[in-house]
Amino acid sequence: MIDLDLTEEHRLLEQTVREWAAREVAPQIAELDRAHKFDPRILPQMAELGLLGICVPAAYGGAGMDYLSLGVASEELEYVDTSLRVILSVHVGLNSLSLLTWGTEDQKRRYLVPQAQGQKIATFGLTEPAAGSDARGIQTVAVKQGDRYVLSGEKMWISLADVADHFLVIAWSDMEKKRAKDPSGLSAFIVERAFKGFSSGTLTHKWGILAGNTGHFKMDEVEVPAENLLGREGEGFKIAMFALDQGRYTVAAGATGLIRACRDASVRYAKERHTFGVEIGQHQLVKEMLARMEADYQQARLLWLRSGWLKNIGRRNTKETSLAKWMATVASERAAGDAVQIHGANGYSDEYPVGRYYRNCKGAVIYEGTREIHALMQADYLLGYRA
C-alpha cells in the first residue's frame, strides 16, 4: 500500500533539523553570505546531529536512517540556506553512499566510517574546466604503475574543495578507451588530500551560494594505492552516475525547501505590505504567484518522495530522480523570481532573504545535470533511446 505520510522518526528529524538550522544558522546566514564566508563550525554540529552519516548504517558509524530521511534533511537545510544542503549532497550523496555501495570492507572501514562520524569530510570530483555535461570528455588520467595508480588532472566546481579530506575522483585508466570516449575506460579512486601532489583552491568569483565553499583541485602525479580503486577498473562511469542518482536526489529535495522558503517569505510580506489601500495579498496577480509557489512546492515534494521511496525499496531510480531534480530546480527558479517580484524594490535589497534565494537557486539549475541534460534524459526515456 502506498503511504505518503512521513513516520514519527521522519517528523522528529524534520523538527530537529528545522530547529537547529533556525537557531544556529539562520541568524548569521545573511552576514556569512555577504562576507562570502563558509563557516566550518557548522560541520561538527551537523555531525553531532548525525547528518553527516544520515543514511549510512550504524555498523559503519552512521545514523542508520533511510533515504526519505536524507530528503527530509535536505529540504530542511536548504530552507535556511543552499550552502547547508550542499554539504549533505557531496559528503553523503555523492561520496559516502558510493563508498557504501561500491566499497570493499577495508575501504568502508578506512574511509566511510570516519566520514559517517563526521571526523573526515568528503566530496566528489567529476567536473573539469573543459568537461561538465559531457562527462565522458574529462581529461584526468590514472596510469597504473605496479601497486599504485598515478593520477594527473584538474577538477573544477567542486563543493567543499578546500574543506574536504577525501575525494572520490573519476579518471581514465584505459588510454585507448579515452581516445574513443568509451566510458568503460573510466575508473573511480579514493584520493586523500594528504597524498603528495594534491592541491586545491577556492573559487572567488561565484555570485551565489556565497556561504558555501566551492573550488578546484589539482593532482600532479598523485600516487594512489591500488587498494583505493573503488569498484573494479572500468566501473568509474557507472559509479559516477550512481553517485549522481544520490546527489541529484538531495538537490531535488533541497530545491523543494527553497521553494517553501520563497513561499513563506512571500506570504509574510504579502500580509505586511500595503499598496492601493490594501495588503498586497489582496491583489489577484500576487495571489497567482503565491498559488503557483504552493503548486510547485507540492509537486516538487511528491517527486522527491517518490524517488526516496524507490531508493528505500532498492529499485533503480535514475529516471525518477532526474525528473525530480529537473522539476524542483526549475520551479525553484520561478519561485525565487516571483518572491523577489512580490517584495518589489525590497526584494532587490539584501535586507530581505529573497535576493539570496534568487542567487542561490540558479546553481542547481546547472550543477548535477543541467536543465537541458535532464530534459534530454527524459525525452530519451520516452523515445526508448535510454532504458
Residues that bind ligand CAA (CB under 6 A): 90, 94, 123-124, 126-127, 132-133, 135-136, 157-159, 183, 237-238, 241-242, 244-245, 318, 367-369, 373, 377
Closest CB 190 distance from ligand CAA, rounded Å: 15
Measure the CA–CA gap between 270 and 247, rounded to whole angstroms.
34
Closest CB 163 distance from ligand CAA, rounded Å: 12
Closest CB 171 distance from ligand CAA, rounded Å: 13
Residue nearest to ligand CAA (CB): 241
- 107's CB contacts (< 8 A; 6+ apart) are 99, 190, 227, 228, 230
Closest CB 121 distance from ligand CAA, rounded Å: 13
Q: Select 68 or 373, whichever has its Cβ closest to ligand CAA.
A: 373
DSSP secondary structure letters along 186-226: EEEEEEETTSTTEEEEE-----S-TTS-EEEEEEEEEEEEG
Q: Select 73 or 94, whichever has its Cβ closest to ligand CAA.
A: 94
Q: Cell for 336?
A: 525565487
Q: Select 125 or 337, whichever has its Cβ closest to ligand CAA.
A: 125
- 341 by Cβ neighbours in 10 Å (0-12 / 13-18 / 19+) ranks as middle
Backbone torsion region of residue 118, taken as left when φ is above 0, otherwise alpha when ψ lies between -120 and 50, otherwise beta? left
Cα angle value 73/77/83 (rounded, 5°): 130
Tell which residue, 165, 163, 184, 188, has the closest CA to residue 174: 184
Closest CB 330 distance from ligand CAA, rounded Å: 15
227 is annotated as an active-site residue: no
Cα angle value 138/141/144 (rounded, 5°): 155
Closest CB 385 distance from ligand CAA, rounded Å: 9
b or e along 203-214 (b: 16 or more beta carbons within 10 Å of the residue's beta carbon)?
eeeeebbbbbbb
Q: Select 189 or 237, whichever has its Cβ closest to ligand CAA.
A: 237
Catalytic residue among 75, 128, 333, 368: 368
Beta bridge partners of 149: 144, 224
- 105's CB contacts (< 8 A; 6+ apart) are none
Residue 315, phi then psi, degrees to nearest 5: -100, 145
Q: Select 112 or 126, whichever has its Cβ closest to ligand CAA.
A: 126
Q: Select 255 or 339, whichever has its Cβ closest to ligand CAA.
A: 255
Measure the CA–CA gap between 292 and 262, rounded to whole angstroms.
11
Q: Looking at the annotation, which residues are catalytic? A: 368
